[in-house]
């Protein structure tokens, strides 16, 4: 699902014996939500507000800048 480098730093649900016991359920829920957004064409008419988004993939992904906007018409 992620690049090899991103997998090295993936820590959203913890690790080892203290890892989140609902990790698999949470991942299925996220993937199902994404599937439904695509399936129902929710983003039709959306346009980008900027040409490029720089994403920093480390412990928790973030993006450069203060906010990200999605405009739907």
Per-residue pLDDT of 18-71, as tens digits, reads 888 998 899 899 889 989 988 998 888 877 776 776 766 665 666 666 666 666
Model pLDDT, residue 25: 94
Residue 69 within any structural domain of the chain: no
Model pLDDT, residue 41: 87
What ranges in the chain are assigned the alpha helix state H? 4-9, 23-39
Model pLDDT, residue 29: 93
Model pLDDT, residue 27: 87
Residue 24 within any structural domain of the chain: yes
Residue 19 within any structural domain of the chain: yes
Structural domain range at position 43: 4-63
The total number of structural domains that make up the chain: 1
Q: Counting every residue, how long is the chain? A: 73
Is pLDDT of 6 > 90?
Answer: no
Coil vs helix vs strand at 63:
strand
Model pLDDT, residue 4: 77
Residue 72 within any structural domain of the chain: no
């Amino acid at each position: 699902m992620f690049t090899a480098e991103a997998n090295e730093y993936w820590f959203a649900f913890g690790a080892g014996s203290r890892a989140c016991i609902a990790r698999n359920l949470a991942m299925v829920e996220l993937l199902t939500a994404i599937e439904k957004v695509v399936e129902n064409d929710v983003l039709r008419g959306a346009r980008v507000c900027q040409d490029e988004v720089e994403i920093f993939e480390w412990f928790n992904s973030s993006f450069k800048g203060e906010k990200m906007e999605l405009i739907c018409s």
